[in-house]
Amino acid sequence: MGQDAGTEHRLDVDLCVIGGGSGGLSVAAGAVQMGARVVLVEGHKMGGDCLNYGCVPSKALIAAGKHAHAFETGGPFGVGVADPNVDFGAAKDHVDRVIAGIEPHDSVERFERLGVTVIQDYGSFVSKSELRAGNAIIKARRFVIATGSSPFVPPIPGLEDVPYFTNETIFDLRDRPEHLIIIGGGPIGMELAQAHRRLGCGVTVIEGDKALGKDDPELAAIVLENIRAEGVEVIEGAQAEKISGTDGAITVQTGDGKQFKGSHLLMAVGRKPNVDRLNLETAGVEPAKGGVKVDDSLKTTNKRIYAIGDVAGGLQFTHVANYHAGVIIRSALFGLPSQAKTDHIPWATYTDPELAQVGLTEAQARKEHGDKLEVVRFDYGENDRARAELKTRGLVKVMVVKGRPVGASIAGAQAGELIQIWALAIANKLKMGAVAAMVSPYPTLGEVNKRVAGAYFTPRLFDNIWVKRFVRFVQRF
């Protein structure tokens, strides 16, 4: 096991990673295998939020919900409709098994086998080049702050006296909620809302602004329409101003005086960076609203200390933390210039249908590029595989400037998979012709990407008088 209680001891290493979530683990594994002496400090669970409370358990619960939903939606395929017999506790067993299957990859034992010294305690800086963790004083040439984020719980009057869940506790709930109230209509709130509804819970989502408000509103509307059709009550533009009740009987009152009653309450309004324990001032690290102030190379105001992932501010996704890990390994281990960018970073919300984005939305692209922007669209209803599977409610939009995609938005089946071709194109500065030249197997949903690229060229080929004149000229010979 990792280092623990005992006589105070000192360690002198090349790299100290603070935080054993996805980003921190990626840095530690990469650095030690390249010959660096590495200490990893983690005071809570290895694998961080993603494995234990976020990406992994939520997707496992979503999968359980999809299987339940299939019982109710087979009629158009000639399959008898039936009420699903949902064992909510067994669905949580599935979640636990998925986590347990991944845990060994993120475990203390694996990282110690790789050669990492793991200290299972929280870290706090005692100087600009030293960190205390438990009984160890770690002097490192470079540090990486990868402490992630935690659920933000706003100070709503009455909340302190009412039992509530966050994403860190909701997966421990084994008895099915009769009616779950979710405050927050972002990706976490909407994913868990639909999953719980499909597993037999009544669900109300209360959002102070627009649900899924960071995504393209036209595409978010497609997703929300389907979620509402499944029976989730989504209330937008309603601030929760007072909460009261007891376990099993909770009331949320909004600013307009309306009251919403439920049996359980989930707070899903956002995240806060985990920096309180670090003693940043002693380290010469300037804090920021999103956590820690960093430059383009992810260095803090102490140039020997980096910050990655959620605590560095910006996009809060596991794959961003992993991307950041690669950026700083290049800089910290090889001394090479390396900068973190965001224009090629995709994200997805795993509702049904899914919602995905990379680069600029249409509104952002219009603001940045004005008349130079072209927006090309393709509807799922024109895709044969979508028709076969009755997944025709969906849309692809690609924002193009001078022949190159600068953003893509997708709402529809497997949007999280389909967005990847546009992430590749934007990351490598490919033109639309590269996607149009791709040959997709038929029939696949992936054809929608080729078809939207083709839609970009259609007016240039078929509505161009000079093309038609040239073709007629060639046909004379």
**Residues annotated within a binding site:** 59, 123, 147-149, 184-191, 207, 270, 310
* CB 115 within 8 Å of CB 29: no
Query: Two tokens at 104?
Result: 């060994």
Which stretch of DSSP H or E encloses residue 291?
strand 291-292
404-428 burial by CB neighbour count: b if 16+ within 10 A, else e? Answer: ebbbbbbbbbbbbebbebbbebbee
* CB 193 within 8 Å of CB 220: no
* CB 133 within 8 Å of CB 122: yes
Identify the sign of the CA torsion 406, 409, 413, 414: positive
Dihedrals phi, psi of 274, to nearest 5 degrees: -90, 90
Q: DSSP states of 11-37 as a string?
A: EEEEEEEE--SHHHHHHHHHHHHTT--
**How far is the C-alpha of 477 from the C-alpha of 475, rounded, in Å?**
5
Residue numbers belonging to the annotated binding site for FAD: 59, 123, 147-149, 310
**How far is the C-alpha of 122 from the C-alpha of 356, rounded, in Å?**
35
Question: For residue 25, what are the contacts with CB-CB under 8 A and spacing of at least 6?
Answer: 40, 46, 47, 48, 106, 111
Q: Indicate the DSSP class of residue 348.
A: E
The three-state secondary structure class of 345 is coil
Residue numbers belonging to the annotated binding site for NAD(+): 184-191, 207, 270
CB neighbours of residue 332 within 10 Å? 24
